[in-house]
Chain A
Amino acid sequence: KNEVEQSPQNLTAQEGEFITINCSYSVGISALHWLQQHPGGGIVSLFMLSSGKKKHGRLIATINIQEKHSSLHITASHPRDSAVYICAVGTYKYIFGTGTRLKVLA
């Protein structure tokens, strides 16, 4: 069993829909990261969380340390949000989740 699990693995949504991606982890952490990877391969850091909730534009990330669970929400989804979303835990050594491939249709 992976130390970091994500669900769903694949997600197709219509433009404007509210999207939730979930991440569960089994190791102790000091921080959890949400990352976005586009088809070209580049990885962009979206959030680093150690508690509570963070918001940036249409993206919201939450974490529940006691339950070892985090969620990434996208409000009013848009085709440009299509990418692989990855959660990762760790500091200098990230342990990556399995990734969620999101496709938003116009």
Chain B
Amino acid sequence: DAGVTQSPTHLIKTRGQHVTLRCSPISGHKSVSWYQQVLGQGPQFIFQYYEKEERGRGNFPDRFSARQFPNYSSELNVNALLLGDSALYLCASSLDDGGADTQYFGPGTRLTVL
């Protein structure tokens, strides 16, 4: 079985642009979480989606949005990019919503904002 996949792997954008990152969870997993990891720091939680509904949101501005599709894949959108949005964006999937469930991480998308 394929693990969590993310696309693209790398992306370079300029300030003010918009970006869409994509994530496909492990087959059968219904929950997708997004994290931002700035260089040298630990990941920070952005969103969780379960059954196409937002179940959790971290302390990120409204420029960040996400959605989950009927096949449980997910997109993370960031508008009006800032230099500080440069980071590794990680997607993780798990079977269920909440509970003591292991999250499985994708390889990440490295976003550079110039």
Contact = CB atoms under 8 A, between A and B. Distances in A.
A91 B95 CA distance: 11
A99 B42 contact: yes
Interface residues of A, number: 22
Interface string B88-114: 101010100111111111111010000
Contacts of A92: 31, 33, 48, 50, 55-56, 94, 97-98, 101, 103
B103 A94 contact: yes
A41 B91 CA distance: 12
A93 interface: yes
Given A31-B100, A92-B97, A98 B42 contact: yes
Interface residues of B, number: 30
B72 interface: no
User: Which secondary structure characterizes the binding site on chain A?
Assistant: loop
B48 to A, nearest CB: 4
A96 B33 CA distance: 14
Given A30-B99, A41-B88, A42-B108, A93 B56 contact: yes
Contacts of A41: 37, 88, 90, 107-108, 110
Interface string B70-102: 000000000000000000101010100111111
Interface in A58-106: 86, 91-99
A28 interface: no
A93 B43 contact: no
A93 B100 contact: no
B110 to A, nearest CB: 7
A96 B102 contact: no
Interface of B: 31, 33, 35, 37, 42-45, 48, 50, 55-56, 58, 88, 90, 92, 94, 97-108, 110
15 contacts: A30-B100, A40-B107, A41-B37, A41-B88, A41-B110, A42-B108, A43-B92, A45-B103, A45-B105, A92-B48, A92-B50, A94-B33, A94-B43, A94-B103, A98-B42
